[in-house]
Amino acid sequence: MSTPDLPATGWFTSSFSIGDSPDCVEANLASDAVYVRHSRHPLDAVIRYTHAQWDAFTRGVKADEFHPGNY
């Protein structure tokens, strides 16, 4: 995805990010998709998820499906 295709505003960091840590995940809940990137390298790799994929992921996180030993 090229930089001009990325949403310019609406990025937020995870509520689990620690203070001013430079290693944070940022997300953008855009109307067409959910975009995820590394806050320290915002123009590098950006992952695009459909809203259905993002919903499945967040449900899995809340259900602790990704905890070591659960897979």
Residue at 3 is within a domain? no
Per-residue pLDDT, averaged over 23-32, amounts to: 89
Three-state DSSP at 12 gives: strand
Per-residue pLDDT, averaged over 22-29, amounts to: 85
Residue at 41 is within a domain? yes
Residue at 11 is within a domain? no
Closest by CA to 34, choosing from 51, 22, 20, is: 51
Q: Which residue has the higher pLDDT, 39 or 14?
A: 39
- 30, pLDDT greater than 70: yes
Helix (H) or strand (E) run with residue 13 in it: strand 12-13
Q: What is the separation, in whole angstroms, between the first and last Cα of the chain? A: 31
pLDDT tens, position by position, 33-67: 999 998 888 888 899 999 999 999 999 989 989 88
* Confidence (pLDDT) at 1: 45
Give the total number of structural domains in the chain: 1
Residue at 33 is within a domain? yes
- 2, pLDDT greater than 50: no
Instruction: Round the CA-based radius of gyration of the chain to a whole number and report it.
Output: 13
